[in-house]
């Protein structure tokens, strides 16, 4: 029995030895598959990393696109504002020129009016002096007539042509009327 057992054991050992190369081939195949799977896993990891980078890049690009759109919108608004500012500056310059022209016109008109007023003042002053002189002459002529009447007894027989007071009176009236007309003309001239 021992021999039969031993024989059986030998057979088992032979069978196992025959299975070893097959198992070694399976182990090699398995190792090869494991190596392939490890490589595929590495490739998958790299693909995943690349995919994540692409997603991040796409997100960045999308964000940049949004920023670019915002910047373009801001640039358009800036261009519109710049155009408005330029238009306002042109209007402002135009108004400043108009104001300067008005000021120059007003200045020259004011100077002209001052000159006219000065001339009128001089004329009025001259006319007032003339009127004062005529009044003085009239008063002197009246005083002279009163003196003459006192000497002649005031009989009123002196002819109007020979009466120096009447002649002076006529001159004075004509002079006053002339002065009044000159003053009226001055008023209408303004």
- The string of DSSP codes covering 121-183 is HHHHHHHHHHHHHHHHHHHHHHHHHHHHHHHHTS---S-TTT-HHHHHHHHHHHHHHHHHHHH
The distance of Cα 145 from the centroid of its chain, to the nearest Å, equals: 81
> What is the tally of structural domains in the chain?
1
pLDDT at 48: 93
Q: Residue 87 is part of which domain span?
A: 2-189
Q: How far is 13 from 16, CA to CA, in rounded Å?
A: 5
Successive 10-residue mean pLDDT values, the chain, 190 residues: 84 86 89 92 93 89 91 94 94 92 88 87 83 80 76 56 68 77 70
CB of 152 closer than 8 Å to CB of 158: yes
CA atoms within 13 A on the CB side of 156: 0
The predicted structure's pLDDT at residue 67: 92
- Quick one: pLDDT at residue 187? 65
CA-CA distance, 109 to 170, in Å (whole number)? 42
pLDDT for residue 124: 80
Contact 169, 141 (CB under 8 A): yes
């Amino acid at each position: 029995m021992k021999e039969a057992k031993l024989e059986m054991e030998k057979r088992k050992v032979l069978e196992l030895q025959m299975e070893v190369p097959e198992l070694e081939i399976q182990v090699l195949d398995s190792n090869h598959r494991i190596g392939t799977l490890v490589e595929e896993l590495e490739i998958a990891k790299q693909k995943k990393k690349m995919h994540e980078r692409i997603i991040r890049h796409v997100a960045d690009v999308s964000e940049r696109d949004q920023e670019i759109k915002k910047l373009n919108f801001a640039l358009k608004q800036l261009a519109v504002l710049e155009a408005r500012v330029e238009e306002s500056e042109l209007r402002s310059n135009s108004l400043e020129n108009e104001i300067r022209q008005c000021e120059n016109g007003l200045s020259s008109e004011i100077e002209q009016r001052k000159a006219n007023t000065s001339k009128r003042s001089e004329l009025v002053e001259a006319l007032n002096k003339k009127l004062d002189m005529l009044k003085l002459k009239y008063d002197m002529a009246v005083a002279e007539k009163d003196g003459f009447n006192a000497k002649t007894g005031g009989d009123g027989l002196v002819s109007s042509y020979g009466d120096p007071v009447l002649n002076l009176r006529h001159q004075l009236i004509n002079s006053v009327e002339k002065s009044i007309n000159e003053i009226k003309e001055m008023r209408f001239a303004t």
